[in-house]
Amino acid sequence: MFRAFLIKYAEIGLKGNNRYLFENALRDRVKDALKVLGAFSVSKEQGRIFVECPEGYDYEETVEALKCVFGISSICPVVVIDGTDWDSLEKGVGDYVEAMYPDRHFTFKVEAKRADKQYPLTSPDICAKMGACLLRRFPELKVDVHNPDVRITVEVRTRAYVYSVNIPGLGGMPVGTNGKAMLLLSGGIDSPVAGYMISKRGVSMEAVYFHAPPYTSERAKQKVIDLASQISRYAGPMKLFIVNFTDIQLYIYDKCPHEELTIIMRRYMMRIAERLAEKEGCLGLVTGESIGQVASQTMHSLAATNEVCTMPVYRPLIAFDKKDIVEIAERIKTFETSIQPYEDCCTIFVARHPVIRPDIRIIRKSEKKLADRIDEMVEEAIRTSEVIDIG
Ligand code: ATP
Ligand code: MG
């Protein structure tokens, strides 16, 4: 019965003079999300986005797609009433209630909004008058203005809309309104969630994966490609850089104390990611680190890893417990992919007893042992990185 959706947004309403930029971005993201599903028409309409659906569209699929768009606070399937004169409104709203609720033993309240302030009735007038009309047409209904079972909303604009269902959206801000970041995406549980969270604040994303063939398999790489596709459902299209990290890892393994291996490796990942980020016009790096989760994420280790970057490093999971991260991973449907058992490059070169309180001065000294070849190897890794377009 629904041929249209009214989309409400929350936080972008607070953006003052820039508001139109946020509204345009949200309209465009909604268009992007729906274009694969058919010829939807998407337009801005006074504080709302209005979606008109093509003949024969799939309701469930459309709602699912809209539920992946950041910046939406709620999705309201609406019935459009053509006229705004009282007779049309009364009939339109009554027909809506009749079709939507075959069993009308419930309490209700009418809520009204008029975008057109010239409209002859005020919002409270519309509520009172419509409530009375509905009671007359459906005597089994009861009014409860404090705690109704059903809120019937009538919005009078150039046309009028009626709805009573608010499907919660994701919140956040439309992707593309807040610059771009480079996500260090491994095959684990955490980094896809980290990317999702930063992107929720309107940030678009490129990603980098450090691959170490033959120590890490093609399937491990495919897993990361799959995860990138899953986050791009929310974050939009992204480039995924696959950096061949094998030679650098072997070189570190050869030259440096094994208990420092992970830290030094992480420092080179950050350095390379930062270089790629600069090339791509990104304003920060994103990782899935969380304090104390593993040896390489103690405060000491994070300080050592952080030291090599000048770009801000965003760690949205920094204070999250694993179970809370898992909960988000399940919700955004990356979890099943993340737990596939393909090794990632860190698990192969880990020492039995990695340092948990690395001393930055000692780490720097160990890295000096790489001086002969490391710069050229880093250049080579960047130069030969493979780029995959996702989404
Ligand atoms: P994740 O679940 O995201 O893999 P983790 O708990 O396994 O995280 P680490 O392996 O210490 O933690 O990695 C910390 C962060 O470093 C990851 O969240 C990710 O952002 C980045 N990272 C680790 N390995 C890789 C890799 N092979 N390619 C790209 N980024 C990586
Ligand atoms: Mg990992």
Protein residues within 5 Å, CB atom, of ion ligand 2: 186, 188
Same domain, 130 and 187: no
In this structure, is residue 89 part of a structural domain?
A: yes
| End-of-domain residue from the set 168, 197, 226 | 168
- Cα separation, 191 vs 195, in Å, equals 6
Of the CA atoms within 13 Å of residue 101, those in its CB half-sphere come to 21
In this structure, is residue 280 part of a structural domain?
A: yes
Residue whose CA lies nearest to ligand 1 atom number 31: 186
What's the domain count of the chain? Answer: 2
Same domain, 203 and 343: yes
Residue whose CA lies nearest to ligand 1 atom number 30: 184
Same domain, 142 and 271: no
Contact of 374 with 251, CB cutoff 8 Å: yes
Residue 7: CB partners within 8 Å, gap ≥ 6? 26, 30, 48, 49, 50, 51, 66, 72, 74, 75, 76, 169
Same domain, 220 and 274: yes
* Token couple for 94: 């009554």
Contact of 140 with 102, CB cutoff 8 Å: no
We report the CATH number of the domain holding residue 198 as 3.40.50.620
One digit per residue, pLDDT tens: the chain, 391 residues? 899 999 999 777 566 778 888 999 999 999 999 999 999 999 998 889 999 999 999 999 999 999 999 999 999 999 999 889 999 999 999 999 999 999 999 999 999 999 878 889 999 999 999 999 999 999 999 999 999 999 999 999 888 999 999 999 999 999 999 999 999 999 999 999 999 999 999 999 999 999 999 988 999 999 999 999 999 999 999 999 999 999 999 999 999 999 999 999 999 999 999 999 999 999 999 999 999 888 888 999 999 999 999 999 999 999 999 999 999 999 999 999 999 987 665 556 777 788 889 999 999 999 999 999 999 999 999 999 999 999 9
**What pLDDT is stored for residue 343 in this prediction?**
67
Say if ligand 1 is within 6 A of residue 366 CB: no
Say if ligand 1 is within 6 A of residue 224 CB: no
| End-of-domain residue from the set 134, 168, 202 | 168
Same domain, 263 and 287: yes
Range of the domain at 51: 4-168
188 CA from centroid of ligand 2 (Å): 4
In this structure, is residue 173 part of a structural domain?
A: no
